[in-house]
Homo-oligomer: A and B are copies of this chain.
Amino acid sequence: MTVLDPSPSAAAERPVFANAREARQAIRAGRWREHTSGLAPANVQGNVVILPAALASDFLRFCQRNPKPCPLLAVSEPGDPMLPTLGADIDIRSDVPRYRVWRDGELADEPSDIGALWQGGLVSFVLGCSFSFEHALIEAGIELRHVREGRNVAMYRTNIPTTPAGPFHGPMVVSMRPMKAADAIRAVQVTARVPAVHGAPVHLGDPALIGIADIGRPDFGDPVEIKPDELPVFWACGVTPQAVVMAARPAFCITHAPGYMLITDRLNSDLPFA
């Protein structure tokens, strides 16, 4: 029940599922363990952070204070693995194709199911992801080089501070997409309309002004060419909360693996959720 994605966002011939529920069923059954870019492209995908209840209210405050890097789409009830506001059948223990388990701030494992690790009191946070605004940019006719080349987006640590909450603090991580000025101006307008998935850019032009020493060497993801008639355009990135959580070195924490997102039933076209 898969079809080939005819959109330019499919660099290789990757299947798309008829809907988000089918994609999640394949992931849950272990039939899909790849990254989720381009799967169910009309649907909102999310970054995932799962924390013990003792840290949950600090992290919630951190997200509220830093909505551009941490646009909260949903927070679970403590101990409840379901996320009914994002889809009736979503079980956070099984519906992400690859997780990262962190102990004392160090990566401990990358399982494809966390049922055995589930504990009462865990709280799941789902945060908006740039796949949604990239969908909006592509729909607006703006070509994204890393998508066309089938690469991961280039991401950088910056000197832009976040607003701290409890143990959570640290600089913003940004993603960068090169484009011509006219496209950058349109991209500001397109992404400003979707604050639930990072919103408008936080910077454009000179990378040094936000503390990026070498634009050719991203801290995460793949480098991408910037042509002479292009500007680098920078958006707040969902890697920020993950970096902030890691820096706080919680005893136990689970996230998704970068690019291996939770696919929700919510539609990109419904953003921001009313």
> Which residues of A approach B to under 8 Å, CB–CB?
181-182, 184-186, 188-189, 192, 200-206, 209, 229, 231
Contacts and interface: CB of A to CB of B under 8 A. Distances in A.
A185 B205 contact: no
A184 B189 CA distance: 12
A69 to B, nearest CB: 15
Contacts of A231: 204-205
B209 A229 contact: yes
Contacts of A188: 185, 188-189, 192, 200
A202 B185 contact: yes
Contacts of A205: 181, 204-205, 231
Contacts of A184: 204
A188 B193 CA distance: 12
Contacts of A206: 181, 229
A182 B229 CA distance: 21
A190 to B, nearest CB: 10
A141 to B, nearest CB: 15
Contacts of A200: 185-186, 188-189
Contacts of A204: 181, 184-185, 204-205, 231
A204 B185 CA distance: 8
Contacts of A202: 182, 185
Question: Which of A181, A189, A229 has most chain B Cβ within 10 Å?
Answer: A181
A201 B185 contact: yes
Contacts of A185: 188, 200-204
A205 B182 CA distance: 10
A205 B186 CA distance: 14
Contacts of A203: 181-182, 185
A184 B206 CA distance: 13
Contacts of A189: 188-189, 192, 200
A188 B205 CA distance: 15
A144 to B, nearest CB: 18
Contacts of A186: 200
A204 B204 CA distance: 10
